[in-house]
Chain A
Amino acid sequence: MGVAMKILLASLLALGLCSLAPPPRVSAPSLPRNSDGELEVSIMKLTSIEWRRGARLPDWVKALDGQRVKVLGYMALDTDEGSHSFRQTWDQCGCESAKASHFIAVDLGEKTTGYNPDEISVIGTMSVGEREEDGFITSLFRIAAESVH
């Protein structure tokens, strides 16, 4: 086997190994983790990122995907009685929360809620990334909630 062939094979092997290896893990966000192991995420910091459709998200935001988090914020005013989900926003009126990056879509699963005007704490597993429905981006940040207080 010639040297050139060996180099080619070595390169192909290296490429193959690279493609088999898991993608580089984005470093864990430098956010405080409380005694229950939840990352305490500031909703204002999260929803202040510059975002437009298709844009790459900051690494610290991507690193939240799959993490157990706790987020303090408010329920959007348009939460109907008996809802299985709601938008969590940083302000009491939710007036500026119509952009997909300006709220967290909270999924309550089988549970339901009505509008609560007080500050609420949501604990659950976060997922991050554009969710598209019928051609529109309907959320960027989501929490599968375990509890809402």
Chain B
Amino acid sequence: MGRRVLRGVLVALLLGLLGASGGGTQEPESEVERYLRLAREGSAVVRPQAAQRLVALGAPAAERLLLECGGSPDELARLGRHLVEVLGEFSDVRLRERLWQALADPDFPWRPSAALALAAAPFPAERAAIGVLFGDPLAAVRAAAVAAAGSLEVAPDEPALNALLADPDARVRRAAAMLLYREGDGCALAWLLEELNRDDRFFEQPDGKLARYAAARLLGEALGDTFGYEAEYPLDDERNASAAEALEARFRAACGGELPAVGEIARAGARIEGAVIGLELRSCRRGEYFLRWSVADELFVGTGNAVMVQLPAGTVAGLLTASEACFAELGGRRLFGEPGCDIERFRFRPDPAGRSRAVVISKGQAAVEGLRPAALARLARLLVATLPTDGLDPRLSNLRARVEAALAAIGG
């Protein structure tokens, strides 16, 4: 064997050894690390499943998540929505502390998820803090707080729950009605009955139908039967006639006779005709707004039984001209930004009987400079200028400032 051959063999052996001690023997990814990665970076449908797998792993996963959480809401936010949402299921006091700390920060992007997480097996000592969340500016947090109150081993604050039956958001009203019913107040079912009658839309979006399905599901849980009610149709539709009779009889019996009248805000409102411009805002930090302008110079605020504000004559004609110019300037582009929890959706339907066209701005938890194109920024300013600054209805209270804050949080 020549020297050259011997050197070659030695080099090969050395390389083999290096390979064995380096990249070639990389530790296989542990289950905790794999699920942690997938819960953050997996596809939309995989993320929540991976988060649940972590919960199933128990204490080792909880310790790993504690490390990831760090000591500030900013670090916790980096876990993402789906991981934040399952933290409460570990029943770990340290993780619950992190969640409460995050909820106290109005700029934490996953406050609804943190509130949902806390709703899993809350401690009796948290009752007062949960009660404070009944007044949270975000409807999703209020609804989660009601769920948390329902999971407590102590009785919830009934007057506070009753007040939530007049909440502007249907999710909160439904959750409050269900909890009151479970606590023995049969008359609270009146609020769910009203939801079964909803048939409202936000442009093409069938919000009323969504409310019917949600209420029917809750009633099925509460009564064990919905008597053949078909949520595809409102309760007063002839296809639901026999179900309506049976449900109403059951509700009256639960309330000892007559059902109470629900407040204006909770009533099944009529469909709104003539809406030509819409603005839907979903800010993970500043809440949700649903605004419509009609050809009759009306502004409608909210979904369901939306509150109407009469605008000066000619207002909407001016907005229509501006919208047309704006949509023309944007050309065919329909989405600005990246998919995320912050969404602005501008709707334009010059023919009220036609279908609307939409342009969407969206982003994740981080701020993005200059996200809203100039044409939409001009239109947004014109739309905001027509909003009332105040009103008797809670949906109008400080409306302009709240919408401005949501717009600033999304499109900048």
Instruction: Find out whether the CB atom of B358 lies under 8 angstroms from the CB atom of A118.
Output: yes
Can you list 24 A-B contacts (CB < 8 A)?
A44-B231, A45-B232, A48-B231, A76-B339, A77-B335, A77-B339, A91-B205, A92-B280, A92-B345, A92-B358, A93-B343, A95-B341, A97-B44, A98-B44, A98-B45, A98-B47, A114-B335, A117-B358, A118-B356, A118-B358, A119-B205, A136-B46, A136-B49, A138-B45
Q: Which residues of B contact A76 (CB under 8 A)?
A: 44, 339
CB under 8 Å from chain A, chain B span 316-373: 334-335, 339, 341, 343, 345, 355-360, 362
Contact B49 A137 (CB under 8 A): yes
Q: Report the minimum CB–CB distance from A130 to chain B (whole Å).
A: 12
Q: How far is the CA of A100 from the CA of B45 in the complex (A)?
A: 6
Closest to B82 in A: A98
- Bound-state Cα–Cα, A77 to B337, Å: 11
A99 to B359, CA, bound (A): 26
Q: How many angstroms between the C-alpha atoms of A114 and B334 in the bound complex?
A: 9
Is B218 an interface residue when CB atoms closer than 8 A count as contact?
no
The number of chain B residues touching the other chain, given as a range, is 35 or more
**Once the chains are docked, how many angstroms separate the CA of A31 from the CA of B265?**
34
Name the B residues within 8 Å of A115 (CB-CB): 334-335, 360
Q: Mark A59-94, 1 if CB is under 8 A from B, else 0.
A: 000000000000000001110000000010011110
Report chain A residues within 8 Å CB of B362.
77
Helix, strand, loop or mixed for chain A's interface? Answer: loop
- Residues on B with C-beta less than 8 A from A77 are 335, 339, 343, 360, 362
Contacts of B142 in A (CB 8 A): none
Q: Is the interface of B mostly helix, strand, loop or mixed?
A: mixed
Given contacts A87-B45, A103-B45, 12 further A-B contacts (CB under 8 A): A44-B210, A44-B213, A48-B217, A48-B231, A78-B44, A78-B339, A91-B205, A93-B282, A98-B47, A115-B334, A118-B204, A118-B356
Considering the chains assembled together, what is the distance between the CA atoms of A114 and B360 in angstroms?
Answer: 13
> Quick one: given A45-B231, A77-B360, are A119 and B45 in contact (CB under 8 Å)?
no
B206 within 8 A of A: yes
Instruction: Please measure, in the bound complex, the distance between the C-alpha atom of A127 and the C-alpha atom of B231, giving whole angstroms.
Output: 24
Given contacts A93-B282, A116-B334, contact A42 B232 (CB under 8 A): yes
Chain B positions within 8 Å of A, measured between CB atoms, are 38, 42-50, 82, 204-206, 209-210, 213, 217, 231-232, 280, 282, 334-335, 339, 341, 343, 345, 355-360, 362
Cβ contact within 8 Å between A87 and B359: no
Interface residues of A in 28-52 (CB under 8 A from B): 42, 44-45, 48
Question: Least Cβ distance of B109 to chain A in Å?
Answer: 13
Contacts known (A45-B232, A119-B355); A136 close to B213, Cβ less than 8 A: no
Are A117's CB and B360's CB within 8 A?
yes
Bound state CA distance, A92 and B335, in angstroms? 13
Is the pair A92, B44 in contact by a Cβ cutoff of 8 Å?
no
Chain B residues closer than 8 Å to A118, beta-carbon distance: 204, 355-358
* A 110-149 to B, binary, CB cutoff 8 A, 1 in contact else 0: 0000111111000000000000000011110000000000
Identify the closest chain B residue to A134 (Cβ): B46
Q: A99 and B46: CB pair below 8 A?
A: no
* Complex contacts, B206 vs chain A, CB 8 Å: 44
Closest to B206 in A: A44
Complex-state Cα separation, A73 to B319, whole angstroms: 28
The chain A residue with its CB closest to the CB of B47 is A98
Task: Report yes or no: A99 in contact with B282, Cβ–Cβ below 8 A.
Answer: no
Say yes or no: A48 contacts B355, CB within 8 Å.
no
Contacts of B335 in A (CB 8 A): 77, 114-115, 117
Closest to A77 in B: B339
The interface residues of chain A lying within 8 Å CB-to-CB of B43 are 138
**A91 partner residues in chain B, CB cutoff 8 A:** 205, 210
List B contacts of A87 (CB < 8 A): 44-45
Query: Which residues of chain B have C-beta atoms less than 8 A from A98's C-beta?
Result: 44-45, 47-48, 82
In the complex, which residues of chain B have a beta carbon less than 8 angstroms from the beta carbon of A100? 45
